[in-house]
């Protein structure tokens, strides 16, 4: 995709217009935008879930170490974050969250 963007940006106006009318070019651009939007959406969802995990642990009065906080915030796997959120409700300490 990067090559596609570089090539398109190097084209002159006439060549760019000719290139843009190709149906394949439109499909490539749409796919790129769609994938980028999905990645951005997933990244936002992961950040929200991580914040929820931390909020539950802190509401339960658990001290969360910097290392634990970074592990939670750094996780981008939505399934793992959902599991941690469920576990955060019942674990005996923040340390037990990752067991």
pLDDT tens sequence for the chain (99 residues): 566 667 767 777 777 777 666 667 667 666 777 777 777 888 889 999 999 999 999 999 999 999 999 999 999 999 999 999 999 999 999 999 998
pLDDT at 23: 65
CB 81 within 8 A of CB 46: yes
CB 56 within 8 A of CB 88: yes
pLDDT at 1: 58
Q: What is the number of domains present in the chain?
A: 1
| Segments forming the whole domain that contains residue 18 | 2-98
């Amino acid at each position: 995709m990067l090559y596609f963007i570089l090539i398109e940006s190097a084209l002159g106006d006439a060549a760019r217009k000719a290139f843009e009318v190709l149906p394949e070019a439109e499909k490539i651009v749409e796919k790129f935008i769609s994938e980028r939007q999905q990645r951005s959406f997933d990244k936002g969802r992961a950040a929200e879930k991580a914040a929820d995990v931390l909020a539950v642990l802190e509401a339960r009065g658990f001290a969360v170490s910097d290392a634990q906080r970074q592990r939670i915030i750094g996780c981008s796997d939505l399934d793992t974050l959902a599991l941690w959120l469920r576990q955060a409700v019942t674990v005996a300490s923040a340390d037990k969250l990752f067991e």
